[in-house]
Every structure is written in C-alpha cells, then in structure tokens.
A and B are shown apart, each in its own frame.
Chain A
Amino acid sequence: MSPNSILTVSNLVKRFGGFTALDGLSFHIVPGEILGLVGPNGSGKTTAINVTSGLYAPDGGVVTFEGHDIGGAASHKLVHRGINRTFQVPKPFLSLTVRENVAVALAYGGAAASAPTIDALLTEYRLIELADRPAADLNSAQQKLLDLTRALATSPRLLLLDELAAGFNPTELDWIAERIKALAARGMAIIVVEHLMGFIEHITDRVIVMNAGKEIFEGKLAEAIRQPQVIEVFLGGEHAA
C-alpha cells in the first residue's frame, strides 16, 4: 500500500441479499495512475465503482479518499470531495441540451476556480457542434462522451470510468486513450473498468483482476494473462494447465 495513495480500499464487502458481490476487496491508487479493473461479468467491478462513488454503502471494510473515510457518504458529497465517474450505460439528462448537461455539473459539482469553461470542455470532447441539441439526440458514443464531460466539469482528482470504450471505433478509441492518458499526466487518478483488453493494456499502468468479488491478481496486464488462476476464471479450468 503506497503512502501516496489518493484512494485506499481495504477489505471491502458488499452484499445484495444472499449474494456477496464484493468479498474482501482491497486495492489502492496513487495520483496520476491509471488502474484497470478487469474480470469476468459478475466479478464485482461495477459494484466496486458504485461503492467508491457513493451509490451503494459498503457492508464492511474501509474506503479512504485523501485520508478521509468516505464509506457510505452520499454521492454528491463525494463529487464535492473530488470523485466522479461515468456509467456503463450513459445517463445524460435527456431533455436538457448538451450545454445544460455540463452547466449543471459546473454549477453544482464544486469545481475548482481554474476549471475549464463549458465551451472548452465541449470542444475538447468533440461535442461543441451539438451544444444546443437535447442530449436525447446524441448517439450512444456521444452520450458516453457527454457523461465524461459532465464528470470532468466537477474537476475530479479521482475518475472512475465504467466501460467507457465500448461502442467506439478503433480510431476513436486511440483518441480516447490519449485523452485519458493526458488527464492522468495532469495528476488525475483514473480507475478503468473495461472488457477491451487491448485498450486496457494500452492505457493502464497496473490492473487488478477480480473474480467473485475478490482480487486474484495485481500487476501488469501482460503478466496477468500468463497466470493460471486468471486464465481459469476467463476461460475455464481445463485451459489453466
């Protein structure tokens, strides 16, 4: 565990009725790092993001952000502290315009005084042409970018990206990868949940492989795919030998 960690998660437990989605998960991330969370469907990646962003209260364990225990704090308070996220299925304010979507976050997200303007953000994320259209007019990829822009408007220091890359073509993926790396280069800690392994390998410094709510491997993705226990959860036991 690094003393410089911006986020430290220890022994996190989250249950839904009889199902244990997170079963003693621990990890940390330092500023400027891009950490990948990978694992099969149902392994608890999105639940980890949801607990960290305040959507669910943990049933056990500790979540510490910049030295403060944030377990169970309301989402909007975590946003003000400097955490934000995108959603696997983008969730824009459909009847508001693209510009208004970002304006709400800029007004209420506790953004730093140095935060970029709406137009600068929309230009950077290729939405400026659509600024005055309702978000409902956007395609799924554009809605994902709007989700990201809205999150960035609150000047987060920890950004959680839940399957942002799905739905983009290869050229767009390269562009998004560069944007994410640029954000990290400015000191933002970024956790990426993703199924696209090429994308993950390209942008992350380190990955946590999860299965059944637990970490089964931590390190470089290139090493992960050589580990028998990782191969087993992705492909089944007979391939592990």
Chain B
Amino acid sequence: MPKSLQHTLFILLPLVVVFAVLPGVYQNHLLLFNFVIFLILAQGVNIIYGFTGYLPFGYVGFFGAGAYGFAIMVMHFQTPAALAVLVGGLVGVALGLLLTPLLRLTGAYFAIANLAASLAVLHFVANPALEGITKGPYGVSLTGTFNPTFAYDAALVVLALTLGGVVYLRNSSFGLALQATREDAVSASMAGVNVVKMRVIAWLASALVAGLAGGVYAWYVSVFYPDNVFSGDFSIFAIVFALFGGVATILGPIVGVIILYGIYNLIGFTTPQYFQLIYGLLIMGLVLFLPAGLMSLATRRGWRVP
C-alpha cells in the first residue's frame, strides 16, 4: 500500500471521523469547533513553515481576510454560506498574492514584515470610512446564515482537504522539492527546482487554508469584530502548536494541537489562576529541550514519522 494511502487511511480519516462523531457525545461544540480550526491553522503553518521555512507571524491576516470575505459576500451579495466560504479562501489567496514580494525576505525579517502586513489588513478592514463595506470597527452580525451544525461540517471538510494536501506534500517529490528549497535554495535550483515558483505555490496554498478556515469561522460565530478575527493569538497558537508537535510531518501539528490546546483548555477550566505559569513553562521546556518538536523524539531514533 502506498504511503500516501496509508497516511490517508490511518491519520486523516480517523481524525476527521472522530471529530465528526464527537459533537454527538460531547456538549461543548464551540470547543470542538475551535479544535478543528486550530488543526486546520496548524497544518496551514506547517505547509509554509514546515516545508519552506518561512515563519508566518502574521498568518492570522489570511484568516481574518477569509472571515471578512465570507461576511461581505453574505451581507452584500446574499451568497449561500458554503459558496461564501470558498470566496473567503480566495480572498486569502488574493491577499497572499499581494504579499508575495515578502518572500524575498528571510528569517526574522520575513516574520516581522508578515506581522506588519496582517496589522495593516486589520486596520484597513476596521477603518470607519469603510463602514459601508466592512462595517468598520463596529463588527458584523450575520444572523441570516447562522447555522453552527453546517458550519462545523464545513470546517471538517476544510480540515480533510488541508490534511489531504499535507499528506501529498509528505509523500510527493513536490513536497521533497519544497523541503529542498527550505534547506538550501541555491542547491535546490541546481537540482532543477524553480525555487521562486515553489515558494509562491506553498505560500498561496497556506493562505488558501487560512482563508477557508476564516470563512467557516465567520459562518460559525456569525457575530464578530475585526479584533476577534485578526487577533494575533491565532497566529501565535497555530505556530506554537505546529512547532510543539514538529513541522514537516503530518502527525506533528495534529499532536501539537491535541496536547497543547487540550492542556490550555484543561488548565483554563480547572486552575485558571496558574494558567499563564503552566503554559509558559511548557513552552519554555519545549524550546529548551525539544526545539524540533515532539516528533523529533522519534526521528532522533531513526524512525520515519509520517
């Protein structure tokens, strides 16, 4: 059985099925929905950071753009919600295209420029002068499309597609070539890889994922402000979850989200007063002892982690 089929059958499918069944047995649907959103975003970060090495500190820009793409289609064009989610994804891609010049930067410079770009988009959307289009800082209320059940299902579809994309990257020469550009762009070009084209494709794929996630998020919550959907927490969480598990793998970001977001909510419910302390210690421990993520425990022993 080819590896990609194994990964689809034994990782993608069980994960999606578990999250499809859970709402029937667990009452906190918002929490489950947030898990799915972070599973998507962590894999989106995995695509651009894990496979090409660009750390997207402003990743939430695509998410917020997707949410507003959804809202504008619903408010002004009465578009059906599922179609508006697709538009949200395309708005993410359009923003990604606009930001492709950032890929000329590397390392911290790219991360900072990307963060600045996401803040610029936030302030653009929240501009009171655009109230007629985006409702400016006053937020949107999309009561007409409110349907958490369908929105949750749509999120699962986006999760399945995103995981499918990562399974492809993990098992194809395309994904290998992307990793080659991450390791050494000059050598990659001497292997015949069109480095610029590959980076742009990964960047746009990652923007599409966040745009779609933003679209389903807007559908699910229905009422939100610019500060909600452009909150830096989304970028930070998605990056920390992906890094905690281990990037450039399928499993790493999944494990990262389940463990860290699980603990996050557990401490948040039980001992909120120690929340920052415990969470901070956990992340410091990760940086100090497992900089390459949990999955590196296995790769160090020579195991190939899916």
Binding site for B on A (CB under 8 A): 53-55, 74-76, 79-80, 84-85, 87, 91-96, 100-101, 103-105, 107-110, 147, 150-151, 153-154
Chain A nearest CB: distance from B197 CB in Å? 9
Contacts of B177 in A (CB 8 A): 104, 107-108
Residue from the set B183, B189, B191 with the largest chain A CB neighbour count within 10 Å? B191
Across the interface, name the chain B residue whose C-beta is closest to A94: B183
The docked-state distance in angstroms from the alpha carbon of A230 to that of B186 is: 33
Contacts of B179 in A (CB 8 A): 93, 95-96
Contacts of B186 in A (CB 8 A): 55, 75, 87, 91
Residue from the set B179, B186, B187, B192 with the largest chain A CB neighbour count within 10 Å? B192
- Using A103-B176, A104-B173, A107-B177 as known contacts, say yes or no to A53 and B183 having CB atoms under 8 A apart: no
The docked-state distance in angstroms from the alpha carbon of A150 to that of B187 is: 9
Find out whether the CB atom of A76 lies under 8 angstroms from the CB atom of B176.
no
The docked-state distance in angstroms from the alpha carbon of A94 to that of B292 is: 14
Across the interface, name the chain A residue whose C-beta is closest to B172: A107
Looking at chain B, what size class is its interface with the partner chain? 10 to 19
Find out whether the CB atom of B190 lies under 8 angstroms from the CB atom of A93.
no
Find out whether the CB atom of A79 lies under 8 angstroms from the CB atom of B192.
yes
Find out whether the CB atom of A105 lies under 8 angstroms from the CB atom of B176.
no
In addition to A104-B193, A154-B192, 17 A-B residue pairs with Cβ atoms within 8 Å of each other are: A53-B190, A55-B186, A75-B189, A76-B192, A79-B190, A79-B192, A84-B190, A91-B187, A92-B183, A92-B184, A94-B184, A101-B180, A104-B191, A107-B173, A108-B191, A108-B193, A110-B192
Contacts of B192 in A (CB 8 A): 76, 79-80, 105, 108-110, 154
Residue from the set A53, A75, A147 with the largest chain B CB neighbour count within 10 Å? A75
Q: Is B194 an interface residue (CB 8 A)?
A: yes
29 contacts between A and B (CB under 8 A): A53-B190, A54-B189, A75-B190, A79-B190, A79-B191, A85-B190, A87-B186, A87-B187, A91-B187, A92-B183, A92-B184, A93-B179, A93-B183, A94-B184, A95-B179, A96-B179, A96-B180, A100-B176, A103-B173, A103-B176, A104-B180, A104-B193, A105-B190, A105-B191, A105-B192, A107-B173, A107-B176, A150-B187, A154-B191
Contacts of A74 in B (CB 8 A): 189, 194
Contacts of A110 in B (CB 8 A): 192
The docked-state distance in angstroms from the alpha carbon of A151 to that of B187 is: 10
The docked-state distance in angstroms from the alpha carbon of A165 to that of B304 is: 34
- Using A103-B176, A104-B180, A108-B177 as known contacts, say yes or no to A93 and B188 having CB atoms under 8 A apart: yes
The docked-state distance in angstroms from the alpha carbon of A76 to that of B190 is: 6
Chain B nearest CB: distance from A178 CB in Å? 24
The docked-state distance in angstroms from the alpha carbon of A54 to that of B186 is: 10
Contacts of B243 in A (CB 8 A): none
* Chain A to chain B: the 4 pairs with minimum beta-carbon distance, closest first: A109-B192, A93-B183, A107-B173, A75-B189
Contacts of A92 in B (CB 8 A): 183-184, 187
Find out whether the CB atom of A93 lies under 8 angstroms from the CB atom of B193.
no
Chain B nearest CB: distance from A91 CB in Å? 4
The docked-state distance in angstroms from the alpha carbon of A113 to that of B195 is: 23
Find out whether the CB atom of A108 lies under 8 angstroms from the CB atom of B187.
no
The docked-state distance in angstroms from the alpha carbon of A22 to that of B20 is: 65
Contacts of A95 in B (CB 8 A): 179, 183
- Using A96-B176, A100-B176, A108-B177 as known contacts, say yes or no to A91 and B184 having CB atoms under 8 A apart: yes
Find out whether the CB atom of B190 lies under 8 angstroms from the CB atom of A104.
no
* Pick from A55, A76, A87: contact of B193, CB under 8 Å: A76
Contacts of A80 in B (CB 8 A): 192
Across the interface, name the chain B residue whose C-beta is closest to A83: B190
Residue from the set A55, A108, A109 with the largest chain B CB neighbour count within 10 Å? A108
Chain B nearest CB: distance from A78 CB in Å? 9
Find out whether the CB atom of A104 lies under 8 angstroms from the CB atom of B188.
yes
Across the interface, name the chain B residue whose C-beta is closest to A135: B183
- Using A93-B180, A95-B179, A104-B180 as known contacts, say yes or no to A76 and B173 having CB atoms under 8 A apart: no
Per-position 1/0 for B151-185, Cβ under 8 A of A: 00000000000000000000001001101100110
* Pick from A93, A103, A107: contact of B187, CB under 8 Å: A93
Residue from the set B176, B183, B190, B191 with the largest chain A CB neighbour count within 10 Å? B190
Chain A nearest CB: distance from B249 CB in Å? 12
Contacts of A147 in B (CB 8 A): 187
Contacts of B184 in A (CB 8 A): 91-94
Contacts of A100 in B (CB 8 A): 176
The docked-state distance in angstroms from the alpha carbon of A83 to that of B192 is: 10
Chain B nearest CB: distance from A73 CB in Å? 11
Contacts of A87 in B (CB 8 A): 186-187
Chain A nearest CB: distance from B77 CB in Å? 42
The docked-state distance in angstroms from the alpha carbon of A97 to that of B22 is: 39
